[in-house]
Amino acid sequence: MKGREALPHEGGDGRPEGQSRHVPVMLRRCLDLLAPALERPGAVVVDCTLGLGGHSEALLTRFPDARLVALDRDKEALRLSGERLAAFGDRATLVHAVYDELPDVLGRLGVPRVQGVLFDLGVSSMQLDEADRGFAYAQDAPLDMRMDQTTGVSAAEVLNTYPPGELVRILRAYGEEKQAKRIVSAIVREREKEPFTNSARLVELIRDALPQAAKRTGGNPAKRTFQALRIEVNGELSVLERAIPAAVKALDVGGRIAVLSYHSLEDRLVKQVFAAGAATTAPPGLPVVPEQYQPRLKLLTRGAELPTEEEIAENRRAAPARLRGAERIREDVE
């Protein structure tokens, strides 16, 4: 699960509850990766996953000449981060949108190209910490899990209405859950007695359904099922499949993109897009590679970079983070 912000603490700095100066995941490294592009005059940076605004605040502070466009599908996140970023005035433009809508957002704002893009994927700390959102398996809550609570189906609807085969596919594909069939059999049996509404019942069912050996490894036995449901409810992987190529396309030459992901499915998708952009597309055997076949991207990280042990000790939600970065080095040639 994602840790877009560390756990909220009392700030003593005059900020609203939950907006104290906790540090977002791998903050310094993200800023350093983007810095060469954002130190240009008139640079525009897009924070595709605004959350509580920690990364955005740091971007606006470190790069005083940059303009920020920040997206989030969660209206409560936009409200809270709007308070946090109010002091930056018209340098910050906050937009209610899913990040695969980036081309439309930039088009409406009249921004043809940007110099930096940041993604901090997954579920935000605010969503995890608000019990009534249903993201966390550690506390009982309605099974909602929608990042935008104004649209789409809830986790409860998925559990209560999807065919068994589809539920098995979701748990295997999105949760990498080896015991998917066993869990789904229990879900189908129980939903016939009474529809699922709350997370505690689902957690208990998963505990009862799993063999003892499966419960002894990998933390809470419900975490993979909850991850899978969240990804399905929010269409996260299909959105990401569209969003990363769109973000690369929006980059100016010399522009940079940094992506923080929190599970292997996200990281694999980002890796594939970056690797394809950094490879030549020329047929083998050409003595000289024409311009249209040259790589569009230069990789800025060797593989995926990990948080330091010190950061994980300070913020346990940083533990699964994987960071990849790339620079746009040429235009698309038709």
Give per-residue pLDDT as tens, 267-288. 999 999 999 999 988 888 888 8
Grouping H, G, I as helix, E, B as strand and the rest as coil, residue 327 is strand
Burial (CB count within 10 angstroms: exposed 0-12, middle 13-18, buried 19+), residue 245:
middle
What six digits make up the tokens of 272?
A: 């594939």
What is d(CA 55, CA 61) in angstroms, rounded to the nearest whole number? 10
Whether the predicted pLDDT of 320 surpasses 60: yes
How many degrees, rounded to 5, is the angle at CA 193 between CA 187 and CA 199?
Answer: 50
* pLDDT for the residue numbered 17: 39
Tokens 């997954």 map to which residue? 122
Tokens 């579920």 map to which residue? 123
Chain centre distance of CA 88: 24
Grouping H, G, I as helix, E, B as strand and the rest as coil, residue 287 is coil
* pLDDT for the residue numbered 286: 82
Of 132-141, 175-184, 216-225, 244-253, the least confident: 132-141
What is d(CA 18, CA 250) in angstroms, rounded to the nearest whole number? 33
Greater pLDDT, 50 or 123: 50
* pLDDT for the residue numbered 332: 80
Buried b / exposed e over 208-227, threshold 16 CB at 10 Å, is: ebbeeebeeeeeebbbbbbb
The pLDDT of 86-114, averaged and rounded, is 96
* pLDDT for the residue numbered 221: 84
What six digits make up the tokens of 198?
A: 């709350």
Whether the predicted pLDDT of 3 surpasses 70: no
Whether the predicted pLDDT of 4 surpasses 50: no
Chain centre distance of CA 268: 13
pTM: 0.82
Q: What percent of the chain has pLDDT over 70?
A: 85
Q: Taking the CB of residue 166, how many other CB atoms lie within 10 A of it?
A: 13
Q: What is the pLDDT of residues 153-179, one digit of tens each?
A: 999 999 999 999 999 999 999 999 999
* pLDDT for the residue numbered 233: 92
Query: How many residues are there in the chain?
Result: 334
* pLDDT for the residue numbered 293: 84
Which amino acids are annotated as binding site, given as ranges? 53-55, 72, 99, 120, 127
Q: Which of 56, 49, 68, 227 is nearest to 137 (CA)?
A: 227
- The domains of the chain, with CATH numbers, are 27-126+236-328 (3.40.50.150), 138-234 (1.10.150.170)
Q: How many CA atoms lie within 13 A of 171 on its CB side?
A: 26
Whether the predicted pLDDT of 18 surpasses 60: no
299, 278 Cβ separation under 8 angstroms? yes
Whole-number mean pLDDT of the chain? Answer: 86
Which amino acids are annotated as binding site for S-adenosyl-L-methionine, given as ranges? 53-55, 72, 99, 120, 127
Whether the predicted pLDDT of 264 surpasses 70: yes
Q: Which of 132, 115, 131, 133 is nearest to 59 (CA)?
A: 115
Whether the predicted pLDDT of 68 surpasses 50: yes
Confidence category of residue 133, pLDDT binned at 50, 70, 90: very low
What six digits make up the tokens of 307?
A: 């948080």
